[in-house]
Amino acid sequence: MDLPNKLPPSPFAAQKPPPKSLVLEGFDGKLAIVARKAGMLYARIYLGGNTYKFVSLDTRSWNEAPELARKAFYKIEAKLEVGAAVKRLVFKDVWADFIKQLGNEVTLKHRTQSTYDAAVYSGGYLVEFLGKLTIEQIDPHKVAEFVLWRRNKASEAGRTISAKTLNTHIVHLKQCLTWAAQAKRATVTDLTFKRVKQDDARRPAFSIEDYRKLYKFLRAWAPARRETDTKAYNRQMLRHIVLIGANTGMRPGELLHLRWKDVSAFKDQDGRENYRFTVTHGKTVKFTGARDVIGRVAVKGFLDRWKELSKFTKPDDYIFHGEDGGVLEGADISFRRMLLAANMRVDENSTPHTMYSLRHTYATFYLKYRKNPDVFLLAMNMGTSVDQIRRHYGQIKVMDKATHLGG
């Protein structure tokens, strides 16, 4: 059978393919309909500059789209007239712009560098938890969830987080959202975020029973003899960090930045030999200057023993050091692993221990077991205030000091 020279026309040949976009008349080019994924239609609304707002029309019909697009345009126009934000920005983008603005203010000396650094620190956690949310989604309930998440994150890392730190995060969040609203970057409706109450300011410390248990564990876990094995050497170093930290009350950062030249021998009023530590590094040094720390007399024996074991003993060498003799890194991680091995990860209140627990143990033991404790001297030795001592170690019961109080 002979085939025809020409095939009959397709019944679809006369149909035009749907347009990819359509500019609506009467809006000075500010309103267009565009097809996006799967043919879904959106209104594209020009906001000025290089900014456009896309609004889903929830339809694939080009016949229905024009009227829906007009309604979307008038709704956006009404928001613009009252100064409301029309773009649904996510928090991480708003925060990035906020931090950039803070940086500019630091350059102009309208803000301090420390204020900027504190905001950057808070932002790391705020963006991690809230970053993908739109500004409208951040409400008091979501902030309460952030506080719980932040506490859990700290606990997983073996740390506790104070109400002061949590409230600082919240303050920075409010500052960012307030700035966004004033700059018309977002619509903020509720900034009534509750402050976190300091319901329990006590710090995790080892009980006398647990400290004795830890002392005995360390003796077996890290025997005090010179070892060429790196693992054994690092264990011995951590053992002496624990012993000296718990008997001087120094902050971890202060202790780990001590050099041998910062130690000087002396005899106390009772003729006992001891060491004086001159703290030149730490969070309070820039405000108060260097301070002297006197540990319990047992510290002399601990430090003498460590000096015999140490590979770095020149005056400028760090007492506790890394492999190259520099500042020791990762001591907090090693400390947590050691506590896990000792089955002593938490205190009697199930609060995770951290290296700061050594400092808190020193303060607690002094107040609880010292015959005539002097809070003022304790505060001076620890580089803190009497108010902080009372606030953080007020859990010591009256009955613990009954003999002292009874005269």
d(CA 381, CA 249): 8
How do residues 355-381 score in pLDDT, each as one tens digit? 999 999 999 999 998 888 899 999 999
CB < 8 Å & 24+ apart, contacts of 165-173: 166/196, 167/195, 167/196, 168/118, 168/122, 169/122, 169/125, 169/126, 170/143, 170/195, 170/196, 172/118, 172/119, 172/122, 172/123, 172/126, 173/122, 173/126, 173/130, 173/138, 173/143
- Residue carrying the six token digits 């002292």: 404
Tell me the DSSP string of 350-371: SPBP-THHHHHHHHHHHHHH-S
Q: In this structure, are residues 179 and 99 in contact, taking their beta carbons and an 8 Å threshold?
A: no
- Percent above pLDDT 90 for the chain: 47
**Contact between 98 and 176 (Cβ < 8 Å):** yes
The token duo for 268 is: 């106390």
122-173 pLDDT, tens digit per residue, is 999 999 999 999 888 888 888 888 988 888 788 777 677 888 899 999 999 9
Greatest mean pLDDT range, 69-73, 76-80, 343-347, 386-390:
69-73
Cβ neighbours around 353 below 10 Å, total: 24
CA distance 174 to 169: 9
- pLDDT for the residue 95: 94
pTM over 0.85: no
What are the tens digits of pLDDT across the range 250-305?
A: 999 999 999 999 999 999 999 999 999 999 987 777 777 889 999 999 999 999 99
Residue-wise pLDDT for 58-111, tens only, equals 898 999 999 999 988 888 777 666 555 555 678 999 999 999 999 999 998 888
Give the Cα separation of 235 and 383 in Å (integer).
28
- Quote the pLDDT of residue 396: 58
For residue 345, the tally of other CB atoms under 10 A from its CB is: 14
Rounded to an integer, the average pLDDT of 16-27 is 80
Give pLDDT, residue 216: 95
Phi–psi pair at 320, nearest 5 degrees: -115, 125
Q: Check whether 1 has a pLDDT greater than 70.
A: no
Distance CA 222, CA 159 (A): 24
Residue burial 260-272, b: 16+ Cβ < 10 Å; e: rest: bebbeeeeeeeee
Tokens (6 digits) for 284: 């309070």
Cα–Cα distance measured from residue 226 to residue 304, given in angstroms and rounded to the nearest whole number: 13
Tell me what percent of the residues of the chain surpass a pLDDT of 70: 85
Looking at per-residue confidence, does 204 or 96 come out higher? 96
| Average pLDDT score over residue span 195-224 | 83
Q: Where are the alpha helices (DSSP H) in 10-131?
A: 65-81, 91-107, 113-130
Whether 244 shows a pLDDT value over 60: the answer reads yes
Highest mean pLDDT: which range of 121-125, 184-188, 347-351: 121-125
Widest CA span in the chain: 127
Give me the torsion for CA of 334, 336, 339, 341, rounded to 10°: -70
C-beta atoms surrounding 243 within 10 Å: 22
Dihedral sign (CA 125, 129, 134, 139): negative
For residue 284, the model assigns a pLDDT of: 74
Average pLDDT over residues 189-202: 71
What integer pLDDT is reported at residue 407 of this predicted model? 41
Asked whether the predicted pLDDT for residue 243 surpasses 70, the reply is yes
For 34, phi then psi, to 5°, come to -130, 145
In the predicted structure, residue 3 carries a pLDDT above the cut 60: no
Is 399's pLDDT higher than 50? no
- The better pLDDT of the pair 11, 179 is held by 179
Better-predicted residue by pLDDT, 105 or 3: 105
Task: Check residue 404 and give its pLDDT.
Answer: 46
Which strand ranges, in their side-by-side order, compose the sheet holding 31-35?
21-23, 31-35, 41-48, 51-56
pLDDT score, position 233:
93
Please determine, for residue 322, whether its predicted confidence score (pLDDT) is greater than 90: yes
pLDDT of residue 26: 86
What does the pLDDT read at residue 286?
Answer: 73
User: Can you give the pLDDT at residue 186?
Assistant: 72
Q: Which residues pair with 267 in a beta bridge?
A: 273
